A and B are shown apart, each in its own frame.
Chain A
Amino acid sequence: MDESSRNDDMKLELRLAPPGAEQQQQHWGLINGIRTTTKRDESSVLSLGYFPHATITTKGSPSSTTTSSSQAAALPLHNNADKKVFSPSSANTAVPNTSQKRTAPGPVVGWPPIRSFRKNLANSSSSSKPPPPPPEHHNKDYGGGGGKGMFVKINMDGVPIGRKVDLNAYDSYENLSNAVDQLFRGLLAAQRDSSGGGVNKLQEEEKVITGLLDGSGEYTLVYEDNEGDRMLVGDVPWHMFVSTVKRLRVLKSSELSAFTQLLVLFSVGGKQEKDAT
C-alpha cells in the first residue's frame, strides 16, 4: 500500500511525461520548440483581464494535427520566459471562418459561470460600501418601508424583457453605466442571436456597451423624472438624479432626436475643446 501510494504521489508530484523525458522542462522544451528568453514582467501576463491569445501569434503545428507532438498547447512558463505559447487549437476555439481575432479583451458571454443576479451583486458591491443614503422611495409599498433597495425599471431597445436596477448600489454615473453594461450585454447578444441573422455570434465576446453617457456609443442612457420628462442621464448631480428618477431607458443613440443628439455632443464637445486648448 505504501509503495503504491508513494508511487501515486510521485506520479502526481512529478510531471508525467513520455518515457525518457525526465525533467519537465525538457519535456515541454522538446515539443515546444518555441521558447523566448524575454525577462518576466512583474505583473502577470493575465492581469488586466486580457485574453492571452491577443498577444501571441500562433506558431508551430497547425490545428489539424492531433498527435501528441502538437501539444504545444498550454505550456507552462519557463522560468525565464514570460511568453506563453498556446496551442493553435485552443486559439482556434472560435469558428474558423471568423478571423482569430481576440479583439476586445474582457469578459465573455456566460463567464464566469454565475447567474446574472449574482453578477450584478458582485460587481456593484465593494469591500468599503458606503452606507446607503436615504433615498426617495419609488416603489409602491404597503405599510412599512421595504428594504433600502431603490429599484427602478430599466428597458433597453431591442430587449423585450426589462430589468430593475437598485440605484442605491451605485454612487456615480460611471458605476451605473458599468452596471447597465453588465446587465444588458449578455441579453443583447442573446437577443441578436435569437432573432437570426444577427451580427454577433453567441461565442464571440459580447460587445461592451460603452458611451452611454456621452453620446459616443451605440446606445445612450436616458431617464424619466418625477415630472414625466425624459432627460439625459448625467446632466445633474448624482444625488439629484437619484431623487427624481422614475425609470431608465437605454435607447439607440441613432434614435434620439437630432436635437438631443446635438445636446449630448455639445456637452461632451465643450469639455474636449477645453482639453485641447
Chain B
Amino acid sequence: MVTSSSSWARALVQISPYTFSAIGIAISIGVSVLGAAWGIYITGSSLIGAAIKAPRITSKNLISVIFCEAVAIYGVIVAIILQTKLESVPTSKMYDPESLRAGYAIFASGIIVGFANLVCGLCVGIIGSSCALSDAQNSSLFVKILVIEIFGSALGLFGVIVGIIMSAQATWPNRA
C-alpha cells in the first residue's frame, strides 16, 4: 500500500500494471526462445561433427533437437494465453489493488515460463550433445541417455503449468 514514508513502494505501485504485463509477455516468449536456441546449437554442433564418422546417428538424434524446440513452443503458447488475459480498465481503476494484482500475475507468469524454459533448453541441449557423441561410439547408449533427456524436458513443462495457473488469477477490476 502507498505510505508516505516508503518512497520505493510508492514508486513501484505507480507503474502501470500494463507495463508489467507487457514485460511479462515479452520475457515469456523471448527468454524461452533463447533457451531453445541455445540448446539446439549445443546439440547441433556435436551432432554434425559426430555424424561424419557415424552417419547412422543422425535420424535418431534429431529427437534431442525436437525436445529443445518444444521448449520454444511452450513459450509461444503461454505468451498467447497471457495476451488474451489483457483487458482494458477505466482510468479511475487503473491503480486499484485489483488491477495491480492482475498486472503482477501476468508478469510473474511470464518470468516463470521464460526462465524455466531457458534452463530446460540448456539442459536438454547439453544432454543431447553427450547423447550424440555416445551414440556414435556405442549405439546401445542412446535409449538410456534419452531417458535423462526426458526428465530434463519435464522442467519446462513444470514452468508452463505453474505459469498457466498463475495467469488464471489475472482478473481485472471491471469484470470483478
Do the two shown chains form a genuine complex with each other? no
B residues with CB within 8 A of A: none
